[in-house]
């Protein structure tokens, strides 16, 4: 690791001020960023820890019934306290391993937008709102490709708001070495339709499967997906699975999610 200065502000305003510095970078739980720094794939001059900001911690209920999660809330806390949205709590309970869940944060995961991470599927599948220090961003506008988001330089996720669906489920086909999703499918049924978000598969990062959403909105059952398939042409292909294999898994895991919802 190259060396850097470390700062731990106690308010969002102080964090934003600290991030104005040249080559300053925000640090959530560090479960991705610290390994990245060890590999010298990033070399910030200053790391600004968001863990000391009390207003970015915890789970609460919004006035509109949504579940609101502070950007610096770790996965274990979401698993324990987001019971009002059981599928979300269950998703958080299966990210990484227990020690990783005790450090990693929802804001860090969404800001990184790893193409195989779980939270992007939950946020896009739920039509969540990403709240930053500056604005609110709809999940449909937020994810812009592998490791790419709508966040500007120095902008941080302060909160994520999840509308609670009638039913939902996340099915992850685990890549056993990394425990990331080889393919993960998040299905959520709302009064105005069904959303299906898929992580781990596409070269463009998390995406919605419109055809499956239409079929499930008309008939919320696994059989409604019979005959539907995705092309593997633009899917991630690596030693763990070909694009074609991942495309097949997308359909299988979507059916499992519907059956389990």
Partner 1 sequence: MTQVSMTVNGKAASGQVEGRTLLSSFLRDELKLTGTHVGCDTSQCGACVVHVDGIAVKSCTMLAAEADGADVSTIEGQANADGSLNVIQQAFQDHHGLQCGFCTPGMVMSAAALLKDNPKPSEQEVRDYLEGNICRCTGYHNIVKAIMAASGQDVGAIAAE
Q: Is residue 31 involved in binding partner 1 (CB under 8 A)?
A: yes
Q: Which of 105, 88, 86 is nearest to 96 (CA)?
A: 105
Specify the residue for token string 């610290």.
Answer: 34
Among left, alpha and beta (phi > 0; psi -120 to 50; other), residue 17 is alpha
Q: Is residue 8 involved in binding partner 1 (CB under 8 A)?
A: yes
Q: How far is the CB of 176 from partner 1 (least distance, A)?
A: 10
**# binding residues, partner 1 (CB under 8 A):** 26
C-beta separation of 52 from 86 below 8 A: no
Q: How far is the CB of 25 from partner 1 (least distance, A)?
A: 12
Q: How far is the CB of 99 from partner 1 (least distance, A)?
A: 5
Q: Is residue 35 involved in binding partner 1 (CB under 8 A)?
A: yes
Element (H, E) at 38: helix 33-38
146-205 residues in contact with partner 1 (CB under 8 A) are 179
Q: How far apart are the first and last CA of the chain?
A: 43
> In this chain, which of 81, 103, 163, 217 binds partner 1, going by CB under 8 A?
103
> In this chain, which of 1, 13, 60, 138 binds partner 1, going by CB under 8 A?
1
* DSSP assignment of 114-177: -TT-SHHHHHHHTT-EEEESS-EEEHHHHB-STT-BSPPTT--EEEEEEPPPSEEEEEEEE-TT
> In this chain, which of 9, 14, 42, 51 binds partner 1, going by CB under 8 A?
51
Q: Is residue 24 involved in binding partner 1 (CB under 8 A)?
A: no
Would you tell me which residues interact with partner 1 (CB under 8 A)?
1-6, 8, 30-31, 34-35, 37-38, 46-47, 49, 51, 76, 96-100, 102-103, 179
């Amino acid at each position: 690791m190259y060396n850097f200065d470390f700062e731990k502000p106690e308010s969002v305003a102080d964090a934003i001020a600290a991030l104005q510095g040249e080559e300053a970078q925000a640090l959530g739980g560090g479960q991705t960023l610290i390994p990245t720094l060890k590999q010298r794939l990033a070399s910030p001059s200053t790391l600004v820890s968001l863990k000391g900001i009390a207003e970015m911690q915890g789970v609460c209920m919004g006035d509109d019934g949504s579940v609101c999660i502070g950007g610096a809330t770790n996965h274990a806390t979401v698993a324990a306290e987001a019971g009002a949205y059981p599928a979300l709590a269950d998703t958080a309970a299966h990210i990484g391993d227990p020690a990783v869940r005790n450090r990693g944060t929802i804001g860090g995961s969404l800001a990184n937008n790893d193409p195989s991470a779980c939270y992007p599927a939950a946020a896009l599948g739920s039509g969540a709102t990403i709240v930053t220090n500056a604005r609110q961003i709809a999940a449909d506008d937020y994810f812009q490709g592998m490791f790419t988001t709508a966040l500007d330089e120095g902008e941080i996720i302060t909160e994520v708001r999840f509308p609670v669906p009638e039913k939902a489920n996340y099915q992850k086909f685990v890549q056993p070495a990394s425990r990331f999703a080889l393919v993960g499918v998040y299905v959520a049924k709302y009064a105005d339709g069904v959303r299906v978000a898929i992580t781990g598969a596409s070269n463009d990062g998390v995406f919605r499967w419109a055809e499956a959403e239409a079929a499930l909105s008309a008939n919320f059952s696994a059989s409604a997906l019979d005959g539907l398939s995705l092309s593997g042409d633009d899917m991630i292909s690596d030693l763990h699975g070909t694009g074609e294999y991942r495309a097949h898994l997308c359909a299988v895991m979507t059916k499992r999610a519907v059956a389990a919802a």
